[in-house]
Amino acid sequence: MRNVILSMKNIDKRFAGVHALKGVDFELCEGEIHALVGENGAGKSTLMKALTGIFPKDSGEIHYQGKLFNPQGPKDALDAGIAIVHQELNMMEHLTVAQNLFIGREATKHNGWFLDEKEQNRKAAELFGRLNMHIDPQERVSNLTVGKQQMVEIAKAVSHNLKVLILDEPTAALTDREINDLFIIMKDLAKRGVGMIYISHRLDEIGIITDRVTVLRDGEYVGTKETKDLSKDEMINMMVGRVIYEKPKTKSNVAPDAPVVLKVQDLNAGKLVQNISFELRKGEILGFAGLMGAGRTETMRALFGADKAAGEIFINGKKSIIESPQDAVRNGIGYLSEDRKRFGLAIKLSVKENAVMASYEDLSPSLFLPRIKLDGIAAEYVEKLNVKTPSLDQFVRNLSGGNQQKVVIAKWLIKNCSVLIFDEPTRGIDVGAKSEIYHLMNDLVKEGKSIIMISSELNEILRMSDRIAVMCEGKLTGILNIEEATQERIMALATQRG
């Protein structure tokens, strides 16, 4: 039996108005890959922040390597051999790989007066060799893929005499090949005795890579089970307290005589948007599938006026000129970016301010904002979309990913957009929040809205779409009716060049 390296007992943490952790237990063994799962807001990140000293726990005990452990900050945790690789990587992209690895502990020569870049590169190459990572220490980080940047973060953690590694949504932005490379490195680290805490919403991956699973729900410990003894449905039931089953769509819900609300003809924007033509009908969900780099997001940015493009766009049969996002919004098109924090939200503003920000001109034609009116409209949509927030004045950055996504949707519904572009609408949100987003999308099309949905998850594409447009290397390679669509047919089109 493996030795327990980390034990957290009865951990409690409160924030203003929120009881984030309610007596949570967690245990990690040497060389174990242990999944920590739960819905957004379940307490996973809070528990890890208590472990790494980002903020103090209110009560409970942490035992690490058989001794009480109370880190006063991330440096204490790192010095003790506990490191975390966050979903949002913290790299200095203008520096080289080696410079990032040894930032703050640079190799020097001549009594510390000068940096020894040669020695630093040598140590980095030695570290990468030990980890079987094929990365050039002298490469600028900005030139690396997200997957390679993540490998650098892991190597940096290992260089600190690593004993516990926390991986927070490590595969969210990786290709299948990069995920496979990551899993190989994780297994190698496990053989060396490193214990890993693996946080992910991708339940299929948890079944592949982990040894045990601990589930949190609403800040409470639900249970821990051996991965091999836990089915996906059982895991979901533990996470959300209910059974979630979304049937794949077998036929289109769009009326045969439904009018065309959007027609795109010969849209071009660089190498990844080449002669794209398609139609969207009223009440339709049109899925866009394809491999990473196929040009799906670039197509929607061109359609939305975010990038310069050529081609023709017709709204309700009328030719429209869309040269900016403002033009798109005036024509009733709303865009939910895959990077909601960067392009969809003002995270330092409140829920209320984010919800109404696109509609100030409509709701307030005068110089003065009617606060009572705006508060009432924001409250109406927060309730309608079941946004879980202590108040309308809560900062959006403090909400879970699923609730942040709902605030972006509220913004475009208040603006009364008739065409909504959802780019990776459920990326980084848990299975319960996914189900809510799915139900919300179905409700929107029943009300007469039309949706274009980009998703990298084929199950999601097949579950939600009435038709599926498939792209490969900037070209539209086919459009499938849902009745004829299968994963195999989609993948065949997604790999069909030209």
Across 325-371, the runs of DSSP E, i.e. the strands, are: 333-336
Using CA of residue 316, residue 458, residue 472, residue 299, what is the dihedral sign? positive
Instruction: Establish whether domains 4-240 and 260-494 are of one fold.
Output: yes
User: How high is the pLDDT of residue 245?
Assistant: 54
pLDDT at residue 481 above 70? yes
User: How high is the pLDDT of residue 137?
Assistant: 87
> At 365, is the pLDDT very low, low, confident or very high (cuts 50, 70, 90)?
low
pLDDT at residue 95 above 80? yes
For the stretch 376-428, pLDDT in tens is: 888 888 888 788 888 888 888 888 777 888 888 888 888 888 999 999 888 76
Most confidently modeled of 15-19, 231-235, 450-454?
Answer: 450-454
The proportion of the chain whose per-residue pLDDT surpasses 70, expressed as a percent, equals 92
The proportion of the chain whose per-residue pLDDT surpasses 90, expressed as a percent, equals 41
Cβ count near 124 (within 10 Å) = 27
For the stretch 240-260, pLDDT in tens is: 775 555 667 889 999 889 999
What mean pLDDT value characterizes the chain? 86
Domain at 260-494: CATH architecture:
3-Layer(aba) Sandwich (3.40)
Instruction: Report how far residue 101's alpha carbon sits from residue 116's, in angstroms, rounded to the nearest whole number.
Output: 14
pTM score of the predicted model: 0.62
Cβ count near 412 (within 10 Å) = 26
Instruction: Report how far residue 415's alpha carbon sits from residue 65's, in angstroms, rounded to the nearest whole number.
Output: 55
> At 221, is the pLDDT very low, low, confident or very high (cuts 50, 70, 90)?
very high
pLDDT at residue 266 above 90? yes
> At 429, is the pLDDT very low, low, confident or very high (cuts 50, 70, 90)?
confident
Between residues 302 and 237, the one the model is more confident about: 302
Contacts of 133 (CB under 8 A, 6+ apart): 151, 155, 185
In DSSP terms, 165 is beta-bridged to 83, 196
> At 213, is the pLDDT very low, low, confident or very high (cuts 50, 70, 90)?
very high
> At 372, is the pLDDT very low, low, confident or very high (cuts 50, 70, 90)?
confident
pLDDT at residue 357 above 70? yes
The residue ranges of every structural domain in the chain are 4-240, 260-494
CATH of domain 4-240: 3.40.50.300
Contact predicate 82/126, CB 8 Å: no
Instruction: Report how far residue 489's alpha carbon sits from residue 460's, in angstroms, rounded to the nearest whole number.
Output: 15
